């Protein structure tokens, strides 16, 4: 296959993938970034660029979306731990950043606000564990593979994160259960 | 409602916010731009699949072989650098090296006793720390510095370069392991000589550093 044909094929596949899955990646990034939409968009853009640069690997993956979610998680953790990045300090209250962002029509604003505050108070890796385990329904072993840590670490991070969320969300609604 | 559903509903309240639909063409344009930048850098260096050993040797050879030294014509470098890459006065560690300045948008990719690799955050370079194309490389060795001489804050620096890369060298401070610390950076990546001199001057070589074989 000639170079220009290869390039066209890559571009076509990339656009189709982005069209189908960008919204999913943005939702995941919004959770990882605790509602910081600008940060989430940065993470998604960086992830998509990396995916394009290594497109043959994406193409070969059993599930390109799972591959993309894994890349997204890595980009988020890399970004979150950069010494010169101080996004958290620019936000007085995590919920404030979302104040201008319209919520879904049927969303509970109080629940959303409490969830944002709860997520923002977790460390980046704990947040990633919660998102992978309870939003994407990955099992402990798969979560450990994505994060490059042991299953024991995932279990302990998950337990601590859930206890934290229980405290935050339980104050909002005692009938709300988190486990 | 079961507890799992409760948590998922709470997470959904954040994830499912309404957002404007992005145009995939913009993502494609960004990705293609990054791919082009990567290709240009690789072409400039003449590498498509670089290896650590080869690039280390090339980097050191550039420093040693280019422009003849002229110790009598040292020029002064301004203290306030200005370039496309912004240096932030923030200390970071890449043991055994410490930097008083942090290049915004670049991050440490690999740290070894004889070298530190720093790559741009935009994903335009290889994720392999052994591929130096388009990245900054800080090297420590015992080879004699050579090239055009500059003075900055009382220290001498030697600058040379070719093939799309510039190399800069200076001797370590009296209280550091004896040797020469060098930096090799890609031209056209937003760096200029003034900022790079300031960046190299901010490097502290710790006791764990080992001289490479460049």
Helix axes A64-81 and A140-147, enclosed angle (nearest 10): 60
Beta-carbon contacts of residue B181 (< 8 Å; ≥ 6 apart): B138, B139, B140, B169, B170, B171, B172, B200, B203, B205
Q: Does residue A112 share a domain with residue A34?
A: no
Q: Which of residues 33-72 of B touch A (CB under 8 A)?
A: 34-35, 38
ipTM of the complex: 0.78
Q: Do B3 and A177 touch (CB under 8 A)?
A: yes
pLDDT tens readout for residues A2-37: 667 777 888 899 999 999 999 999 999 999 999 998
The values of phi and psi at residue B96, to 5°, are -90, 20
Asked if residue B77 belongs to a domain, the reply is yes
Asked if residue B10 belongs to a domain, the reply is no
Which H or E element spans position B154?
A: none
* Mean pLDDT of the B110-115 span: 85
Q: How many CA atoms lie within 13 A of A77 on its CB side?
A: 15
pLDDT tens readout for residues B51-61: 555 555 555 55
Asked if residue B8 belongs to a domain, the reply is no
- List chain A residues with CB under 8 Å of B16: 27, 104, 107
- List chain A residues with CB under 8 Å of B8: 134-135
Q: A96-110, B112-126, B131-145: which has the minimum mean pLDDT?
A: A96-110
- Closest CB to B102: pick one of A48, A84, A130: A84
Min Cα–Cα distance to chain B from A107, Å: 6
- Closest CB to A135: pick one of B8, B22, B88: B8
Asked if residue B4 belongs to a domain, the reply is no
Q: Do B24 and A18 touch (CB under 8 A)?
A: yes
> Can you tell me the distance from the alpha carbon of B124 to that of A73, in angstroms, rounded to the nearest whole number?
18
The domain tally of chain A equals 2
Q: Does residue A55 share a domain with residue A24?
A: yes
Domain span holding position B128: 19-205
Q: What is the pLDDT of residue B3?
A: 53
Q: Do A115 and B28 touch (CB under 8 A)?
A: no
Q: What is the pLDDT of residue B20?
A: 80
**Residue B66, pLDDT above cutoff 50:** no
- Closest CB to A134: pick one of B2, B8, B31: B8
More confident residue, B58 or A115: A115
Q: Does residue A151 share a domain with residue A130?
A: yes
pLDDT tens readout for residues A134-170: 999 999 999 999 888 899 999 999 999 999 888 877 7
Q: Do B14 and A82 touch (CB under 8 A)?
A: no
pLDDT tens readout for residues B127-147: 777 677 788 889 888 888 888
**Residue A118, pLDDT above cutoff 70:** yes
Q: Do B24 and A22 touch (CB under 8 A)?
A: yes
**Residue B82, pLDDT above cutoff 80:** no
Q: What proportion of chain B, given as a percentage, has pLDDT over 90?
A: 16
Q: What is the pLDDT of residue B52?
A: 52
Chain B nearest-CA residue for A116: B14
Q: What is the pLDDT of residue A51?
A: 94
List B97's β-bridge partners, or say none.
B94, B205
Q: How far is CA B95 from CA A40, A93, B109, B118, in A?
A: 31, 35, 12, 13
Asked if residue B195 belongs to a domain, the reply is yes
**Residue B79, pLDDT above cutoff 80:** no
Q: What is the pLDDT of residue B85?
A: 76
Q: What is the pLDDT of residue A176?
A: 56
Domain span holding position A148: 94-179
- List chain A residues with CB under 8 Å of B102: 83-84
The domain tally of chain B equals 1
Beta-carbon contacts of residue B38 (< 8 Å; ≥ 6 apart): A53, B124, B125, B126, B133, B134
Q: Does residue A126 share a domain with residue A80?
A: no
**Residue A173, pLDDT above cutoff 80:** no
Q: Is A84 helix (H, G, I), strand (E, B) or coil?
A: coil
Q: Does residue A78 share a domain with residue A8?
A: yes
User: pLDDT-based confidence at A105, cuts 50/70/90?
Assistant: very low
Q: A105-109, B172-176, B192-196: which has the minimum mean pLDDT?
A: A105-109
The values of phi and psi at residue B140, to 5°, are -130, 125
- List chain B residues with CB under 8 Å of A115: 10-11, 13-14
Chain B nearest-CA residue for A40: B15
Q: What is the pLDDT of residue B46?
A: 54
Q: Are B38 and A53 in contact (CB under 8 A)?
A: yes
Can you tell me which residue has the tokens 């900022």?
B195
| End-of-domain residue from the set A90, A124, A140 | A90
Q: Is B119 helix (H, G, I), strand (E, B) or coil?
A: strand
User: pLDDT-based confidence at A103, cuts 50/70/90?
Assistant: very low
**Residue B10, pLDDT above cutoff 80:** yes
| End-of-domain residue from the set A59, A90, A121 | A90
**Residue B16, pLDDT above cutoff 70:** yes
- Closest CB to A101: pick one of B3, B17, B24: B17
CA nearest neighbour of B149 among B76, B65, B64, B202: B76
Q: Quick check: B11 contacting A, CB < 8 Å?
A: yes
Q: Do A22 and B22 touch (CB under 8 A)?
A: yes
Instruction: Supply B212's token pair.
Output: 């490479």
Strand arrangement of the beta sheet that strand B97-99 belongs to: B92-94, B97-99, B203-205
Kindly give the pairing relationship between strand B106-112 and strand B115-120.
antiparallel
- List chain A residues with CB under 8 Å of B111: none
Min Cα–Cα distance to chain B from A135, Å: 6
Instruction: Supply A107's token pair.
Output: 């969303």
CATH code, A151: 1.10.10.10
* Mean pLDDT of the B183-194 span: 83
Asked if residue B213 belongs to a domain, the reply is no
Chain B nearest-CA residue for A102: B18
Asked if residue B3 belongs to a domain, the reply is no
Asked if residue B7 belongs to a domain, the reply is no
**Residue A112, pLDDT above cutoff 70:** yes
Q: Are B158 and B170 in contact (CB under 8 A)?
A: yes
CATH code, A28: 1.10.1740
More confident residue, A88 or B100: B100
> Can you tell me the distance from the alpha carbon of A42 to that of A49, in angstroms, rounded to the nearest whole number?
11
Min Cα–Cα distance to chain A from B33, Å: 9
Instruction: Supply A118's token pair.
Output: 């709860």
**Residue A87, pLDDT above cutoff 50:** no
């Amino acid at each position: 296959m000639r170079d220009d044909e290869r390039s066209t094929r890559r571009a076509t596949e990339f656009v189709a993938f982005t069209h189908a899955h960008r919204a999913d990646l943005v939702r995941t990034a919004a959770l990882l970034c605790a509602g910081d939409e600008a940060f989430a968009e940065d993470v998604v853009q960086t992830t998509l660029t990396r995916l394009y640069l290594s497109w043959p690997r994406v193409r070969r993956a059993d599930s390109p979306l799972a591959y993309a979610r894994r890349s997204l998680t890595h980009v988020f953790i890399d970004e979150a731990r950069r010494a010169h990045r101080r996004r958290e300090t620019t936000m007085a209250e995590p919920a404030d950043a979302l104040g201008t962002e319209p919520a879904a029509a049927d969303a509970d604003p109080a629940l959303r606000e409490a969830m944002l505050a709860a997520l923002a108070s977790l460390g980046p890796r704990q947040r990633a564990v919660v998102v992978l385990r309870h939003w994407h329904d990955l099992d402990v072993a798969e979560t450990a593979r994505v994060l490059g840590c042991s299953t024991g670490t995932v279990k302990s991070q998950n337990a601590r994160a859930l206890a934290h969320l229980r405290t935050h969300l339980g104050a909002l609604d005692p009938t709300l259960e988190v486990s | 409602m079961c507890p799992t559903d409760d948590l998922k509903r709470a997470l959904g309240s954040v994830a499912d916010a309404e957002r404007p639909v992005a145009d995939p063409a913009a993502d494609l344009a960004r990705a293609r731009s990054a791919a082009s930048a990567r290709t240009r850098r690789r072409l400039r260096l003449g590498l498509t699949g670089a290896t650590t050993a080869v690039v280390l040797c090339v980097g050191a050879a550039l420093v040693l072989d280019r422009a003849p030294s002229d110790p009598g014509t040292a020029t002064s470098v301004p203290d306030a650098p200005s370039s496309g890459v912004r240096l932030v006065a923030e200390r970071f560690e890449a043991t055994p090296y410490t930097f008083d300045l942090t290049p915004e948008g670049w991050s440490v990719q690999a740290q070894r006793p004889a070298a530190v690799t720093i790559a741009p955050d935009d994903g335009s370079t290889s994720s392999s720390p052994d591929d130096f194309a388009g990245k900054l490389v800080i090297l420590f060795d015992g080879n004699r510095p050579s090239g055009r001489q500059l003075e900055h804050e009382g220290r001498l620096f030697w600058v040379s370069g070719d093939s799309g890369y510039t190399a800069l060298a200076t001797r370590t401070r009296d209280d550091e392991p004896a040797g020469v610390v060098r930096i090799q950076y890609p031209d056209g990546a937003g760096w200029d000589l003034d900022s790079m001199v300031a960046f190299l001057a901010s490097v502290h070589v710790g006791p764990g550093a080992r001289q490479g074989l460049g």
